[in-house]
Structure formats: C-alpha cells, structure tokens
Chain A
Amino acid sequence: GQQVMQIPQYQHVQEGEDFTTYCNSSTTLSNIQWYKQRPGGHPVFLIQLVKSGEVKKQKRLTFQFGEAKKNSSLHITATQTTDVGTYFCAGGAGGTSYGKLTFGQGTILTVHP
C-alpha cells in the first residue's frame, strides 16, 4: 500500500533559526496536506497542495509539492517558540481512495528561546 515517509523525526532549533521537514511518498500523489499538532493537542489543517511544482506561503511557512508529485517540504523561516509542535504531511492517492489520507510519521519541532 501507499507509504509516506517523513524526515527528520526530531529537530531542535534555536529561536530565529530556519526549519525544514521533508515528506516522500512511495507512489504518485493526487494531493498533499500539512497539519500541525501542538503538544497535548490534536492535528490542525494548515494547507493543501495539488499541482505539480506548486509553492504556497503562509507568513513564515513555505510549502512545496515536487514536480513528480511524490515529495513535499515545509520550511519555516526564523522560527518562534509558538512554532513548537509536530508537523505532519498527509498524502492523498485519489481514485477510489479519494479523500483518504496517509500520514507521515511527523517531525517533532522544539524551539529553544
């Protein structure tokens, strides 16, 4: 079945440093979504990417979808302590599985003030 791998598993940064997490799928995706889960909380939807090579920005966050639609990345510029949490990518396969997502393992981000 479809597998979505996410690296790194953990990332510790000093406040103000940049952060990137990468997501790779074993199969071509129809779409990819990103979620953030604060410590003790539940995942919250951030964004969806659909088009090959798509780049979207949300303030300090930049999301990319690869040309082959098998990989994606999330980059945070100048991290802040409010960025702490686990970031998940989730890939959609399309077809009869339309709407069903496979989640990566997540990257746990710690930001030291």
Chain B
Amino acid sequence: DGGITQSPKYLFRKEGQNVTLSCEQNLNHDAMYWYRQDPGQGLRLIYYSQIVNDFQKGDIAEGYSVSREKKESFPLTVTSAQKNPTAFYLCASSMTGGAPDGYTFGSGTRLTVV
C-alpha cells in the first residue's frame, strides 16, 4: 500500500532541545511539505521541497530546518530557536505539476514541549 508515514505519533521534549520529526513516502511523489496546525489557525506552511536536494521556506520557517537528501524522505527539525514549538505537525506529499490529485497527508506528529 502506498502512503506517507510520520513518526512518532506523539513526542515529548524538554524546552531547549532540538527534535527531529520523520516523514517518509512511497508514493513516488516529487514534492513534499511540512505544515503546522494550531487550533483556530488552520494549516501553516513551514517548508516545502519540489525536488531532491532543494527546498524553500514557507510562511513560518523560523526555528525549523529540513533536508531532502532522498526523494522518499523529508525530515523536519524543530530547533530550540522555535519560540512556541508545541503543535500538531503534518507532512504531505504531492505530484508535481500543481498537485492535481491533491496532497496526501501523513497522520501527523503531536509535539509537546515541557
């Protein structure tokens, strides 16, 4: 079955620690995205990548970093510079050419920083 896998589902970290969220897809999609979801604010774009070894900042990239060394993988690191990291993080992928079949989302990682 093709899909997109995020791990872990829940993550707890102490303030000041960096943490990396995993996102893997076997859909052969070229484009991958990271969104953050907070109550009442919808989905806000953190980073996106349209091809391997290339990525662009989204609307709220400060305090986050990504890499795209393989087509299948797009990990997100939440650094200690992120002021309010507690949130629900969603990874998505799509075909290039405008995502005509929409984004496929992973099941998300809920990060809690204490």
Q: Report which A residues bind B (CB closer than 8 A).
A: 1, 6, 9, 30-31, 33, 35, 41-46, 48, 88, 90, 92, 94, 98-106
Contact = CB atoms under 8 A, between A and B. Distances in A.
Given A100-B45, A100-B48, A105-B41, A42 B90 contact: yes
B108 A42 contact: yes
Contacts of B44: 103
Contacts of B105: 42-44
Contacts of B98: 30-31, 92, 94, 98-99
Interface residues of B, number: 28
Contacts of A6: 42
Chain B interface, >50% SS class: loop
Nearest to B96: A99
Nearest to B48: A100
Contact of A99 (B41, B50, B59, B104): B50
A35 B102 CA distance: 9
Contacts of B35: 103
Interface of B: 31, 33, 35, 40-45, 48, 50, 58-59, 90, 94, 96-108
Nearest to B105: A42
Nearest to A43: B105
A1 B59 contact: yes
Contacts of A46: 102
B106 to A, nearest CB: 7
B45 A102 contact: yes
Given A35-B102, A45-B102, A48-B100, A9 B45 contact: no
Q: Which 4 A-B pairs have the closest CB atoms?
A: A45-B102, A105-B42, A103-B43, A42-B105
